[in-house]
């Protein structure tokens, strides 16, 4: 579940970004739609507790993110937030399986090979566990990054511009995959996008509209 009230953010010297109120039930899907620079990635960073909002309130998986102290916040994020950034950040020094094991390491958990194999298999990339990220296609790399995001079965999955560099067929595949991954773990799914194809592919989905900030328009 995600709920916001009067949420807003402004970077130092940057535009003021007011966000509309939203309530997303657990297991629901929310699309953040709007042009580049309208604040979608900022909203995701607020939901992940990577930024503290300057106005309003945001409850994510039952937790007021702003109320968490710095140390608690990292633990909470590791447990509750799956994040699929636009740039996937897979380490080339590590195999696919080792990239997932980093999640356990970062969360202070013992590496769980069975869970890693299961997460990769659930997204049909189990056979690629020993490869290096450079030996994957773009679509395979996205599956691996999604498996990593879902490894600890977080209640919330945040995804930033998943289709920006994909052709039409891959775009449909990526969206199906995200919905499948979120459904498998019961996660609330948030997708930030300026891609009209996503809005067409998910017409019934709850949406939060973002508008270009005024500072950006005059810049």
Q: What residues make contact with ligand ADP under the rule CB under 6 A?
A: 11, 14-15, 17, 34, 36-42, 210, 213, 216
Partner interacting with residue 216 (select from Mg ion, ligand ADP, none; CB below 5-8 Å by kind): ligand ADP
User: In the bound complex, what is the minimum distance in angstroms from residue 83's beta carbon to Mg ion?
Assistant: 13
In angstroms, rounded to a whole number, what is the distance separating the alpha carbons of residues 15 and 133? 37
Question: Among residues 40 and 143, whose Cβ is nearest to Mg ion?
Answer: 40
- Output 57 or 216, the one with its CB closest to ligand ADP: 216
Comparison of 39 and 154: residue with beta carbon closer to ligand ADP: 39
**CA–CA dist 104, 130 (Å, integer):** 18
Binding-site partner at residue 105 among ligand ADP, Mg ion, none, CB < 5 to 8 Å by type: none
Identify whether the C-beta of residue 45 lies closer than 8 Å to the C-beta of residue 203.
no
State both tokens at 202.
Answer: 């998910």
Residue 14 or 20 having the CB closest to ligand ADP: 14
Closest approach of ligand ADP to the CB of residue 59, in Å:
20
Contact partner, 19, from Mg ion, ligand ADP, none, Cβ < 5-8 Å per class: none
Per the CB < 8 A criterion, the answer to whether 142 and 174 are in contact is: yes
Six token digits for residue 14: 């940057």
Residue 16 binds Mg ion (CB under 5 A):
no
Shortest Å distance, C-beta 192 to Mg ion? 6
C-alpha torsion sign, points 6, 205, 11, 106: positive
Decide: 2 and 24 in contact? Cβ < 8 Å.
Answer: yes
Dihedrals phi, psi of 47, to nearest 5 degrees: -65, -30
Where does this chain touch Mg ion (CB under 5 A) — which range of 12-20, 39-47, 101-109, 115-123?
39-47
- Beta-carbon count within 10 A of 205 CB: 16
């Amino acid at each position: 579940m995600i709920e916001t009230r009067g949420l807003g953010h402004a970077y130092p010297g940057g535009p003021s970004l007011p966000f509309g109120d939203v309530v997303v039930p657990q297991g629901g899907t929310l699309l953040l739609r709007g042009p580049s620079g309208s604040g979608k990635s900022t909203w995701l960073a607020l939901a992940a507790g990577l930024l503290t909002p300057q106005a309003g309130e945001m409850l994510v998986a039952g937790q007021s993110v702003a109320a968490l102290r710095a140390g608690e916040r990292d633990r909470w994020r590791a447990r509750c937030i799956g994040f699929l950034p636009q740039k996937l950040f897979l380490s080339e020094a590590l195999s696919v399986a080792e990239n997932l094991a980093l999640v356990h390491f970062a969360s202070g958990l013992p590496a769980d090979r069975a869970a890693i194999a299961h997460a990769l298999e659930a997204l049909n990339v189990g056979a690629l566990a020993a490869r290096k990220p450079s030996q994957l296609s773009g679509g395979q790399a996205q599956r691996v990054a999604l498996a990593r995001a879902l490894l600890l079965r977080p209640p919330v999955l945040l995804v930033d511009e998943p289709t920006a560099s994909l052709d039409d067929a891959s775009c449909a595949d990526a969206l199906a995959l995200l919905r499948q991954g979120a459904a498998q773990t019961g996660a609330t799914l948030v997708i930030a996008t300026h891609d009209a194809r996503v809005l067409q592919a998910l017409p019934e989905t709850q949406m939060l509209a973002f508008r270009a900030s005024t500072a950006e328009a005059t810049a």
